[in-house]
A and B are shown apart, each in its own frame.
Chain A
């Protein structure tokens, strides 16, 4: 690790000032950032620690009924919050399923959304792959069991690592991004960048920008939501496949559906075909299975991740059932 400066701003304004240094980077919980530094994948000259910034920690409803979340909230806090558990269950489940208690106590929502990919070639200094400015994707004909089954033909087959993003897309969240001078609001779906657009980045943040608020729109209160993560082992493991479902129901009938797959594509993957298969249908195990099948029709597994197709089908139909309180095992 190279030497670096450690800056502790006491306000958001100060944060932006500190960020102006050429290789300054935000540090929230530091879970992802320090790993990247230790492996010498990045060597910032200044860490700007926003972990203790009270201004970034809030959970509140605005006057219009939208729910506002500060990016400095830890995953543990999200997992335990009553309002989130009641009205935005998928988010509580996604946050609560990440890694281990110790990590969730440090990791923040902002950091979780902006963490770098977990592709093992990316994470190892031994491989100079396309995402790091090289000219090969080692995964495509290499060890790709944990890689993408959708949108994996644009030179990089990562799966986006953020679990909370999967839930937040299902909840149609928006982000407020600021550079200290100007704020912009984007839908969280627009936040993530595909390899086709820019292989070296995962989101649209510019160097001096920061997420300052996460917004869940007011109408999402009318949705039921559920998130499920399928792991290989039960102790601090990443998902092999994960899914978030949000449904607006009228009786048994589905009025609107939002279905998002994690660990499936370079950005959290919204399955419009699964959604369409549910809208205006009564939700039961059969329609859930049909939607799950629809979701996977266009899957293009790589050499070693074909298993993800049946795995996703299963967790999608089960999660749809769980969302509306049907036991999928019956």
Chain B
């Protein structure tokens, strides 16, 4: 029977009391009145020194006895039939252990330059390369298309052959996903056309590749029918499940290990072809196979953020109320899907009429993969600039216009207020392009929008030993956000210890089911399980202490330093005295992440960022002078790792805004910049001072109340910068990356 708990919920200190049913075994959720020792404070990563001293072992570092090296041979052509594969020369090389084809039957099609054709494994990396050079593959080249606009043309080469593909692949432009529903397009047009003001503009964004520091890869090892995979993944369980499905083996026969991983940003969710190839090579070669991709292979084949061509239309009354929003977007996810950009247009503002229509366009390019808030940064770039445009058109301050049109979102309202004050919004000259001189400064803002996502079912196990040590195990991988530190903080909080006292072991599917790090759900999905486990452990210890002190369990409390005492403090025992008496030397408890205790109605995550920029109108170069970011993520766990997420999100946003661009040669379909020199990424000197403010949003929906922040932090950055650029120069930059070339064109200097 659930008990009823009174909780104080709300934004910062603006709290109201609600009553929530809580299962008996669970602690009272932390709420807005709980002052905690660690939770919500800044705690340095407990595994930080492992990384800074090189002790952290990534998949890249894994060496197992007998391990050999895998290598993938990829199509050099964007569209072709593979007609012949001759690997006889390679087979003759001593030390080549296995050569496999991606498809057994010839001929088979390849649809992007970089697609896997053959894989082999050999005793050394060098040998694998040598063998790869000896494999002769014949291709029958076919017409291809790599450009979005070209692919949309009537007579464009078809990426998928209608003869042998599923029904929805017969044309390059797939059927649009429509929101809210069919047939509303004319209706919204009518609303927009009859509004006092209407603005319509078209925007373009580029393809961005994920570029995690550690490239993609695995080490696969068979032991009879059992399989172990060390994977650089953000989803240990997803890799396990997909490999199980692919090879038709029980999930329980597969173990996936990810102790440390060097980033993924969404591209390391799936097991992907390279994993399957490594597993197959290992089986054929009867040896463990290491298959780590090169930076070039990462760019070509492991995913990307699709580009976009978006037309946004917004209508408003002269008083500044949005009447309607319409978005029509196209984008290419290569041979994959998922190029929609409509999230921000659909969910940030209170407009009554909203219509979005999003089409994926196939091109002969590597498939996209989810990328830190799929669709949203590019969506925000177009949509939040249109909103800005409308504000100026009506003659309203862009902040005021936003405040007026998102009244239903109380969190956002609080964020505007903090942001305006911290940024000094009112100090700016309301008139765009007003500054004299060649170099002009400007200020702008943009909204973020993401979703509260978690999957119930995660569980962790916590062991307390008679030497006083506390160990927690979870299958979760740390994508880099630093999840182990909040886990340790939560246990320390509950058991009145220090975070560094807790030993946490993660990244192994032999441990409890854990969230995939996608959708910003790791903290929201895992921390309640951790707290629930710690709470159970605490009950066990209180009981043991009560027995030792010969009082009723209700009479015992646990306080700082792990001290057990009676309520009247007459009797006291320290942590080790109590744990020493644990029967059989140890006990274990588990904690599970259940469904939220109640429906909070807060299904979204807000966030707003402000940017100040300096634009050189003669060189077209833009410098971001500072960013101020205000974000919400439920009840903040570790403010330091949250800040790091915000910093990282903004840096990636700046990099997207100005530099990153996957460039496919228009004439050959081959990527010209598959490295980290010509594929440009922001570096230390491109990063401005970043000030972040994190809202305390207590909802009491789970025992910790945590919600994610990793994706929201990158969504509005490019849009806020673009709005600041407009404010500086009075000209809209409707294309990314905002290079000097693009800016000089917008300024009519080219």
Write the residues of chain A forming the contact surface with B, with a CB cutoff of 8 angstroms: 120-121, 123-124, 126-127, 138, 141-143, 145, 230, 232-237, 240, 304-307, 309-311, 314-315, 329
In the complex, the answer to whether A230 meets B619 with C-beta atoms within 8 Å is yes
Cα distance A72–B506 when bound, in Å?
A: 50
From A138, A236, A240, A314, name the one whose CB has the most chain B CB atoms within 10 angstroms.
A314
Contact A235 B744 (CB under 8 A): no
A99, closest chain B residue (CB):
B677
Instruction: Establish whether residues B685 and A142, one from each chain, have CB atoms under 8 Å apart when the complex forms.
Output: no
**Which of B437, B659, B674, B739 interacts with A329 by CB under 8 Å?**
B437
Report the nearest A residue to B741, measured CB to CB: A307
Asked if B668 CB lies within 8 Å of chain A CBs, one says yes
Name the residue among A142, A232, A236 with the largest chain B CB count within 10 angstroms.
A232
- Find A126's partner among B437, B670, B684, B685 (CB 8 Å cutoff): B670
Can you report 27 A-B residue pairs in the complex whose CB atoms are below 8 A from each other? A123-B678, A124-B672, A126-B76, A127-B665, A138-B665, A138-B668, A143-B666, A143-B672, A232-B659, A232-B739, A232-B740, A233-B658, A233-B659, A233-B682, A233-B685, A236-B677, A240-B740, A306-B750, A307-B739, A307-B740, A309-B750, A310-B620, A311-B619, A311-B620, A314-B619, A329-B438, A329-B439
List 12 other contacts, CB 8 Å, given A232-B740, A329-B439: A123-B678, A138-B665, A145-B741, A233-B658, A233-B683, A233-B685, A233-B686, A235-B684, A237-B680, A305-B741, A310-B744, A310-B749
How far in angstroms is the closest Cβ of chain B from A101? 11
Inter-chain contact A127/B670, CB cutoff 8 Å:
yes
Output the least CB separation between A103 and chain B (Å): 11
Contact of B673 among A120, A234, A304 (CB under 8 A): A120
Contact code string B437-473 (vs A, CB < 8 Å = 1, else 0): 1110000000000000000000000000000000000
Across-interface contacts of B684 in A (CB, < 8 A): 235
For A237, the chain B residues whose CB sits under 8 A away are 680
What's the Cα separation between A143 and B661 when bound, in Å? 12
Q: Is B667 an interface residue (CB 8 A)?
A: yes
Q: Which residues of B contact A120 (CB under 8 A)?
A: 672-673, 678
Chain A residues with CB under 8 A of B739: 232, 307
Contact B682 A235 (CB under 8 A): yes
Q: A233 contacts B740, CB within 8 Å?
A: no
Q: Enumerate chain B residues within 8 angstroms of A124, measured Cβ to Cβ.
A: 670, 672, 674
Q: How many B residues touch A, CB cutoff 8 Å?
A: 35
- B242 surroundings in chain A (CB, below 8 A): none
Cβ contacts under 8 Å, B668 to chain A: 126-127, 138, 142
Which residues 698-750 of B sit at the A interface, judged by CB distance below 8 A?
739-741, 744-745, 749-750
Query: B658 to chain A: which residues have CB within 8 Å?
Result: 232-233
B102 within 8 A of A: no
Distance in angstroms between the alpha carbons of A123 and B673 in the assembled complex: 9
- Please give, as numbers and ranges, the residues of chain B lying within 8 Å of A123 by CB-CB distance: 678
What separation, in Å, do the CA atoms of A126 and B75 have in the docked complex? Answer: 11
B138 CB–A CB distance under 8 Å: no
CB nearest to B679 among chain A residues: A120
Chain B residues in 8 Å Cβ range of A235: 682-686
Q: Given A126-B76, A126-B670, A142-B667, is A307 in contact with B750 using a C-beta cutoff of 8 Å?
A: yes
A252 to chain B, nearest CB (A): 23
Tell me, yes or no, whether B663 is within 8 Å of chain A by CB. Answer: yes
CA distance A305 to B668 in the complex (A): 20
Shortest Cβ gap from A100 to chain B (Å): 8
The distance in angstroms between the C-alpha atoms of A142 and B665, with both chains bound, is 6
Q: Residue on A with the closest CB to B747?
A: A310
Q: Does B621 contact A (CB under 8 A)?
A: yes
Cβ-defined partner of B620 (8 Å) among A143, A233, A304, A307 = A307
Interface residue? B618 (CB, 8 A):
yes
* Chain A residues whose CB sits within 8 angstroms of the CB of B667 once the complex forms: 138, 141-142
Q: What residues of chain B lie closer than 8 Å to A230, measured between beta carbons?
A: 619, 621, 740
- How long is the Cα–Cα vector from A248 to B666 in the complex, in angstroms? 47
Q: Which 8 A-B pairs have the closest CB atoms?
A: A235-B683, A234-B685, A307-B741, A314-B618, A120-B672, A310-B749, A235-B685, A307-B744
* B28 → chain A closest CB, angstroms: 49
Q: How many angstroms from the CA of A26 to the CA of B677 in the assembled complex? A: 24
Question: Chain A residues with Cβ under 8 A from B744's Cβ?
Answer: 307, 310-311
How many whole Å from B77's CB to the nearest CB in chain A?
Answer: 10
- Given A121-B672, A310-B618, decide whether A232 and B665 contact each other with a Cβ distance below 8 A: no
Q: CB within 8 Å of A: which residues of B?
A: 76, 113, 437-439, 618-621, 658-659, 663, 665-668, 670, 672-674, 677-678, 680, 682-686, 739-741, 744-745, 749-750
Per the bound structure, the CA–CA distance linking A313 and B740 in Å amounts to: 14
Chain A residues with Cβ below 8 Å from B438 are 329
A233 to B677, CA, bound (A): 11
Nearest A residue to B655 via CB reads A233
Tell me, rounded to whole Å, the shortest Cβ–Cβ distance linking A153 to chain B: 18
A233 close to B749 (CB less than 8 A): no
- B126, closest chain A residue (CB): A1
Nearest chain A CB to B678 CB, angstrom units: 5
Which residues from chain A contact B437 at a C-beta distance below 8 Å?
329
Give Cα A31 to B741, complex, Å.
29
Check B670–A236 contact: CB distance below 8 A.
no
Residues of B within 8 Å of A311, CB to CB, are 619-620, 740, 744
Cβ contacts under 8 Å, B673 to chain A: 120
CA distance A311 to B192 in the complex (A): 41
| Nearest chain A CB to B386 CB, angstrom units | 26
Chain A: minimal CB distance from B133 (Å)? 9
Is there an interface contact between A234 and B683, defined as CB atoms closer than 8 Å? yes
- CB neighbours (8 Å) of A236 from chain B are 677, 683
Residues of A within 8 A of B439 (CB): 329
Nearest chain-A residue to B113 (Cβ)? Answer: A126
Write the chain B residue with the least CB distance to A303.
B666
Q: How far apart are A17's CB and chain B's nearest CB, in angstroms?
A: 30
Which residues of chain B are near A126, meaning CB under 8 Å?
A: 76, 113, 668, 670
Compute how far the CA of A304 lies from the CA of B620 in the bound complex, rounded to whole angstroms.
15
Query: Bound state CA distance, A230 and B683, in angstroms?
Result: 16
Alpha-carbon separation in the docked complex, A206 to B750 (Å): 42
How many angstroms from the CA of A13 to the CA of B667 in the assembled complex?
A: 48
Q: Are A142 and B666 in contact (CB under 8 A)?
A: yes
Q: Are A143 and B680 in contact (CB under 8 A)?
A: no
Q: How far is the CB of B568 from chain A (nearest CB, A)?
A: 63
Residues in B neighbouring A240, C-beta threshold 8 A: 740
In the assembly, what is the distance between CA of A143 and CA of B665, in Å?
6
CA–CA, A124 to B667, complex, Å? 15
Please name all residues of chain B whose beta carbon is closer than 8 Å to the beta carbon of A315 when the two chains form the complex: 619
How far does the Cβ of B239 sit from chain A's closest Cβ, in whole Å?
30
- Docked CA distance A314–B617 (Å): 10
* Cβ of B327 to closest chain A Cβ, rounded Å: 29
Q: A142 to B667: give the CA distance in the assembly, Å.
A: 7
Q: How far is the CA of A234 from the CA of B739 in the complex (A)?
A: 13
In the bound complex, CA of A145 to CA of B685 (Å): 23
- Distance in angstroms from B148 CB to nearest chain A CB is 15
Q: Which residues of B are found within 8 Å of A304, using beta-carbon distances?
A: 741
With a 10 A CB-CB cut-off, give which of B113, B437, B674, B678 has the most chain A CB atoms: B678
Q: How far is the CB of B307 from chain A (nearest CB, A)?
A: 15
In the complex, which residues of chain A have a beta carbon less than 8 angstroms from the beta carbon of B665? Answer: 121, 127, 138, 142-143
- Shortest CB distance B384–A (Å): 23
Closest chain-B Cβ to A317's Cβ sits at a distance in Å of: 9
Instruction: State the Cβ distance, B110 to closest chain A Cβ, in Å.
Output: 15
Q: How far is A228 from B237 in the complex, measured between Cα atoms in Å?
A: 53
Cα separation A124 to B678 with both chains bound (whole Å): 11
Identify the interface centre among A143, A233, A311: most chain B CB within 10 Å of its CB.
A233
Report how far A304 CA is from B665 CA in the complex, Å.
Answer: 13
Rounded to whole angstroms, the CA-CA distance of A121 and B678 in the bound complex is 11
CB distance from A119 to the nearest CB of B (A): 9
**Which chain A residue lies CB-closest to B682?**
A233
B686 touches which of A234, A305, A306 (Cβ 8 Å): A234
Contact indicator A232/B672 (Cβ below 8 Å): no
B745 touches A307 (CB 8 A): yes
In the complex, what's the smallest C-beta–C-beta distance from A115 to chain B, in angstroms?
13
Once the chains are docked, how many angstroms separate the CA of A304 from the CA of B739?
Answer: 12
Alpha-carbon gap, A145 to B737, bound state (A): 13
